[in-house]
Chain A
Amino acid sequence: MTYVLGLSFNYHDAAAALVHDGTVVAAADEERFSRNKHDHRFPHRAISFCLRQAGIGSHELDHVAFYEHSIVKFDRIVRSALRADTVDRSIGYLDNVVEGWLHEKKFDDRRLIAAELGVPLDRISAIPHHLSHAAAAYFASPFENATVVTMDGVGEYETLAVWSGAGCRLERLYGLELPQSLGLFYSAFTAFLGFEVNEGEYKVMGMAGFGTPKHVDTIKPLIQLTDDGLFALDTRYFEFESPNDLPYRPDLLELLGTAREPESPFRIAKPGVEPAAGSVEAVSQHYANIAASVQKTTEEAILHVVRHAVSKTGIRDVCIAGGVGLNSLANARIQRELGCRLYVHPAAGDSGGALGAALNHYHGQLKKPLTGALTTPYLGAAYDDDDILAALKRHRLERYFHCSSHETLVKETVDRLVAGKVVGWMQGRFEWGPRALGNRSILANPTLETMREIVNVRIKFREPFRPFAPSVLVESAHDYFDLPEQIDVAQPENFMLSVANVRPDKRSAIPAVTHVDGTARVQVVRRETNPLYYELIEAFGRRTGVPVILNTSFNMRGEPMVDKPYDALETFCWSDMDCLAMGNYFVDKEMM
């Protein structure tokens, strides 16, 4: 009986994950509990949840593994900031960093963990950031041999690493260090396009769908792909080492023109209509074209890295982690164009490092045999009907009803979806990673085109151009989407981490989930992974002939996804959502 707790915190997306004899017992981001988006602080609440889920106290932990070497990271920050060519503008940045590190006691994570958890220091370890990512991807994958690629903004120094995984062994082959960073390259353009770094990268992907990559020839030279399977950024355009304000330099503005104003309107002219110069439509099209060009350039770079890594290891089973792994368009191309079997860790970003650290200790350090793929993302907290009823009463929701069976719950929900209502769906344990996969989801009818705008504007209060994902029964997935012939239980499509073309003949059947470029970020749903969600889609399919549901995360803009019944009630009441299905309780605003 070995319990290993993995932790990530101090930068963004703090998380805790608990592994028991190689099996993941629980894993959760701190933000779900603290309600503080991208919470980076010590994950007290997530740890408590993990221990509660296992029914153990912290004294029963055999080991605690932290996801990076903080002191090495600090060394990189200081060295970068004091570089001769940047020192003048870096001093203020460095001041802030040092103050923050002192204030938050970031210098000795092991001692902090020991003090917070009461675990002896000799049972606490820290491992390199990219090893955490690599372990999260590889040890949770279905593969016994794999090429592992980790790509993110930056860890300690490293921004990319290629590994070979074999049994319990992960061997680092080669990598890249700051300022050569594909993650930060993408983030620089995220900022240029008026979105928040570490938050708005999805929006760039969404915006790219509206554009044509007209600026590829301008952007591509900024990232030269090299013969060694890596790349070299033209650092004149980027500011990654002491980013006081923006991650790009004025040269980028000279190259591409004015950056997009945050929150500026985005509207695309109808097909065939030439927008007037200077109009919102023309300006939006310009930035969409830049987004498309950045996306295409990034995809080419990722393919280049993965292609070379595969040729180096000779293994076509590929594992990916690190924030770049959330680029679902690139993931699709890896499968399609390189013909690789792919596993992307569902929490590919820094929170996933918590689970990676724990798995690395169990398999990599203790040399315990592999325990099989992580096929379920449902590793978070669950609430029973008593918890839900207590929340309904505490907040004086008087008009609700209790469904006596899953069949009734499914029928009531399908009735509303068919009628064009938007339903908040909170069931079972919440998901690990940034995607809502049917347990903390907002659901709508994908056959109604108006649903996209209704859900974006009235429910989630976000930009009207953001696309929505479809959840589809695995058996029907190929009828609607161009997907790899075989979709096994651990492929990215199970975790909504890959984009597929909607079959041309089906685009008009599911307009609300077909992006403007004819693609969709698909989630295939299996009965064995999520029986209730499967039944719901199945029943919706029986009623409408379309076994697909629009699925978006259960949150409002800028908020973490909901955790507990109160969070769901709050989102339900503050938005124009029509209905809420929590456990077996059902609330319909028409009854209120």
Chain B
Amino acid sequence: MTRVLIVLPGSELERVDAERAIRLSRGHFAEAAETAIAAPATTVGFYDALLMEADIKEFDAASASIAFDVFVFVEGYEGDVCAPGPHSLTLPRADHQRTYWFLLGARMKLVHPAVYDTVEYPLVESHVFQRLSGRKHEFVNFPYGPLYSDVEVGPVNEFGFRVPQDYRRLAHRPTNHKLVVTFGGSAAFSFYCRPEEMFSEVLGELLNGTLRSRGDARHVTTLNFGMHDNVVMQEMLTYMMFVDELKPDVVLAHDGHNDIYYGLQNDPCLLNDFNIIYQRYSEEWSKLLHGSAKVPTPPMYSMAVDGQELNLPQNVIRTYILRKQQFERMVRANGGQFVWGVQPIHCSKPNLSRREKLRYRQAERGQPHDSAKRKFLRGLYLTYGKLSENLARLPEIVLVDFNQRFQGYGEELELLWDHCHTSPDGDKLIAEHYHDVVLKLLDQDVS
């Protein structure tokens, strides 16, 4: 029997965040029979009053370390500043004890033990690139593009996808069993959502609900092949490696941000002459492998540096569209229908809610605010706007442009969690929009 202690932070969370942290932490350790909640002396009174139905004890590290097996420390903020995590907390941790940092949103970040074990990620030994990885929530090198072993929001397979291990059986499904597969980067992965909150999952439920209500004999399975950092080129590789054999009925490519973000920064020759967009940090691997660190490139993970020439918007957009058209041809040649999804980003919703603004400030805190970054962000947003204009002019594509669709949503809705990822409510809304479009495609298929 696992005994779990959820420790609320030393700062005062809003009720919605505190309740979500408790609910998701309990859900994460569903097999635990015993879950308790505590808070430091400074806030125990506050949380006791805020969460009337919960029994909240004062946190005492010494006695807790004897009484509990798992500690979940909930992230706190003081104003816009993230309170320090529990990494340096001097709990007397026995080998069997585990410590997590619950990051507001949905992420259960492992703190102790320091690296994944098979409890945390049962497939961590599954193949050589997992075994060679850092065994943390991070990038895993793989010959065909980056993988992330991100188990913080729920289980993933050997390649980091949020799909069941036995998905390949779907290749032999009956004709009334429709398959909808979603692709994209971390927005399609549903970065801040538990499995049941992912738009791909909600989409499946909505479609099946509609079909059932109509008395339609068909039913739908959705698979989420979104992966952090992926650009359209990698979506195609993923499709070829894992999905082609399934012959999905509908492929939904929900992307945009990564191609524009990296496309602006990529080598102009690769972008302009060969339509190649890649993760900019790939340049770092070359430096490490070839000792070519002296060749000037912008620092890893920085958006831009002084005087750096960003690629021109029309070239980035052209490359994105060309690759996506290529992806569509691939899918159609395999008998599927293709939806051009464009993910919403920060500039897609001009009227941010109070909490959206707050989280954006929190995410930005500590980031450099130099002119190069400002310029880059402006370029990103302007290019994103132009992307929508360009896509709207494309004939005969099935377009669901959330950069456009989010423009109309007001500050009463909390749809974005950060600059390019949606909240669970945002994912739900996205699923509702896709539902109408995918249903139409499935119905066309019948007619």
Contacts and interface: CB of A to CB of B under 8 A. Distances in A.
A and B interact: yes
Interface string A24-44: 000000000111110100000
B379 interface: yes
B363 to A, nearest CB: 20
Contacts of B378: 461, 556, 558, 574
A35 B371 contact: yes
Contacts of A396: 272-273, 312, 315
B268 A395 contact: yes
Interface in A548-575: 556, 558-559, 566, 569-570, 573-574
B379 A574 contact: yes
B312 A35 contact: no
A569 B371 contact: no
A59 interface: no
Contact-size category for A: 20 to 34
Interface in A1-56: 33-37, 39, 45
Contact of A573 (B268, B312, B371): B312
A527 B55 CA distance: 85
Interface stretch (B15-23, B64-72, B303-311): B303-311
Contacts of A573: 312-314
A75 to B, nearest CB: 29
Contact-size category for B: 20 to 34
B392 interface: no
A558 B374 contact: yes
A35 B306 contact: yes
A3 B383 CA distance: 46
A103 interface: no
Given A35-B375, A36-B370, A570 B306 contact: no
B315 A559 contact: no
A592 interface: yes
B322 interface: no
A36 B272 contact: no
Contacts of B372: 35-36
Contacts of A395: 268, 272, 311-312, 315
Given A34-B306, A36-B372, A558-B374, A569 B314 contact: no
Contacts of A270: none
B382 interface: yes
Interface majority SS (helix, strand, loop, mixed), chain B: helix
Contacts of A397: 312
Contacts of A558: 371, 374-375, 378
Interface string B297-327: 0000000001101111111000000000000
Contacts of B311: 395
A394 B267 CA distance: 11
A33 B307 CA distance: 7
Contacts of B370: 36
A592 B317 CA distance: 14
Nearest to A396: B272
Most B C-beta atoms less than 10 A away, residue of A33, A36, A574: A574
A573 B310 CA distance: 11
Interface in B166-206: none
Contacts of B313: 573-574
B46 to A, nearest CB: 29
B37 to A, nearest CB: 38
A395 B263 CA distance: 13
Interface in A317-347: none
Interface string A378-396: 0000000000000000111
B371 A36 contact: yes
Given A36-B370, A395-B312, A559 B307 contact: no
Contact of B310 (A33, A394, A570): A570
Given A36-B372, A574-B378, 4 more contacts: A34-B306, A396-B315, A558-B371, A570-B312
Interface of A: 33-37, 39, 45, 394-397, 461, 556, 558-559, 566, 569-570, 573-574, 592
- Which are the 10 A-B pairs with shortest beta-carbon distances? A396-B272, A573-B312, A36-B371, A34-B306, A574-B382, A395-B312, A35-B307, A36-B306, A566-B309, A37-B371
